[in-house]
């Protein structure tokens, strides 16, 4: 996935960027209070027209001043709640927070928008920002993958609730990436157990990859590792089946060559038992 292309998709739809005619607000000079001890309890935020604040936010955004833009959009939402521009500003605030790397704020703004305005045209984009914010926080497979799971949940909502949205294609790509991460985590844990000869625990992880993450790039290794695990456990029939399914689907794979050689050392060869769970699962990812 091209990062720049992905960033381009993250930009708001045209409707959000349509500014009302920019108005020139009169300048007000605040009177200076002579008393150094100002009573903050009497302070009231100056209220400006919603269109002025919104256009200032757009101008700041155009100038690359994301923090200033965000402040203006939040001011619209705060000072003119439930107005049309407040609704648009909520989405823009989610976008500017996302661009600043303030992912929790972006997630909260996006979720709040979808909760309040689920039927509006911008709801799909708000939910997409939520998914992107989780996606940007996905960690290496050696670490916890909660962000990957949340990416899948958020992006699946985009796909299911707004199937005609322009964000669906990229949402699906992010789902595939996140699923690959989860499968990679299972493989990492499985290899850990395998190295320690904890074969039952290892087999459980590799089986999970095959049954749950059949459309990821980790399938070949998972089948090869299962061949190794079952062979070590003396479950010859299952080892032969795992190798056979691997060879049927990925005959040119180095993982298959390694599995074949392992079986040959014991005077065996790949042979599929169609009654095995491995054979049944293999139908899900035939090449």
Give the pLDDT band of residue 17 (cuts 50, 70, 90): low
Q: Rounded distance, CA 224 to CA 247, Å?
A: 10
pLDDT tens for each residue of 27-43? 333 334 444 454 444 43
The pLDDT, as a whole number, for residue 4 is 42
Whether the Cβ atoms of residue 126 and residue 157 lie closer than 8 Å to each other: no
Q: What are the φ and ψ backbone dihedral angles of 52, each rounded to 5 degrees? A: -65, -50
Considering the chain, what percentage of its residues have pLDDT values greater than 90?
A: 78
Q: Please give the mean pLDDT across all residues of the chain.
A: 88
The pLDDT, as a whole number, for residue 15 is 62
Q: Which burial class, exposed, middle or buried, applies to 39 when counting CB atoms under 10 A from its CB (0-12, 13-18, 19+)?
A: exposed
Q: Residue 184 gets which letter from DSSP? A: H
pLDDT tens for each residue of 243-269? 999 999 999 999 999 999 999 999 999
Mean pLDDT, residues 98-108: 97
Q: What are the φ and ψ backbone dihedral angles of 136, each rounded to 5 degrees? A: -70, -15
Whether the Cβ atoms of residue 67 and residue 57 lie closer than 8 Å to each other: no
The pLDDT, as a whole number, for residue 47 is 80
The pLDDT, as a whole number, for residue 10 is 72
Whether the Cβ atoms of residue 139 and residue 166 lie closer than 8 Å to each other: no
Q: Which burial class, exposed, middle or buried, applies to 267 when counting CB atoms under 10 A from its CB (0-12, 13-18, 19+)?
A: exposed
The pLDDT, as a whole number, for residue 43 is 37
CATH code, 1-23+46-196: 1.25.40.10
Q: Which burial class, exposed, middle or buried, applies to 265 when counting CB atoms under 10 A from its CB (0-12, 13-18, 19+)?
A: exposed
3-state secondary structure of 83: coil
The pLDDT, as a whole number, for residue 9 is 58
The DSSP H or E segment spanning 21 is none
pLDDT tens for each residue of 144-192? 999 999 999 999 999 999 999 999 999 999 999 999 999 999 999 999 9
Give the pLDDT band of residue 204 (cuts 50, 70, 90): very high
Token duo for residue 152: 């899948």
The pLDDT, as a whole number, for residue 71 is 95
Decide if pLDDT at 220 tops 60: yes
Q: Rounded distance, CA 225 to CA 282, Å?
A: 15
Q: What residues have CB less than 8 Å from 238, skipping those under 6 apart?
A: 226, 230, 273, 276, 278
H runs (alpha helix) in 136-218:
146-161, 168-195, 199-212
Q: Which of 118, 201, 207, 116 is nearest to 158 (CA)?
A: 118
Tally Cβ neighbours within 10 Å of residue 45. Answer: 8
Give the residue extent of every domain in the chain: 1-23+46-196, 197-287
Whether the Cβ atoms of residue 17 and residue 58 lie closer than 8 Å to each other: yes
Token duo for residue 123: 């709801």
Q: Rounded distance, CA 249 to CA 222, Å?
A: 13
């Amino acid at each position: 996935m091209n990062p720049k292309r992905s960033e381009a998709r993250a930009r708001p739809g045209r409707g959000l960027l349509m500014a009302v005619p920019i108005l020139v607000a009169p300048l007000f000079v605040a009177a200076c209070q002579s008393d150094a001890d100002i009573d903050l309890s009497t302070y009231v935020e100056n209220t400006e027209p919603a269109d002025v604040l919104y256009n200032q936010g757009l101008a700041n955004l155009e100038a690359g001043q994301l923090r200033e833009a965000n402040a203006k959009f939040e001011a619209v939402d705060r000072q003119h709640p439930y107005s049309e521009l407040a609704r648009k500003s909520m989405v823009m605030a989610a976008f500017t927070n996302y661009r600043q790397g303030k992912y929790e704020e972006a997630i909260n703004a996006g979720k709040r928008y979808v909760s309040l305005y689920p039927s509006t045209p911008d709801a799909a984009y708000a939910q997409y920002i939520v998914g992107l914010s989780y996606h940007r926080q996905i960690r290496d497979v050696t670490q916890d993958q909660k962000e990957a799971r949340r990416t899948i949940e958020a992006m699946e909502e985009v796909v299911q609730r707004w199937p005609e949205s322009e964000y669906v294609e990229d949402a699906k790509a992010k789902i595939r990436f996140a699923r690959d991460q989860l499968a990679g985590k299972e493989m990492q844990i499985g290899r850990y157990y395998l190295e320690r000869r904890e074969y039952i625990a290892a087999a459980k992880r590799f089986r999970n990859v095959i049954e749950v993450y059949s459309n990821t790039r980790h399938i070949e290794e998972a089948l090869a590792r299962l061949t190794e695990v079952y062979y070590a456990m003396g479950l010859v029939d299952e080892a032969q089946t795992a190798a056979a399914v691997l060879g049927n689907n990925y005959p040119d794979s180095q993982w298959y060559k390694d599995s074949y050689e392992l079986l040959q050392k014991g005077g065996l060869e790949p042979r599929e038992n169609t009654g095995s769970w491995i054979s049944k699962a293999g139908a899900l990812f035939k090449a």
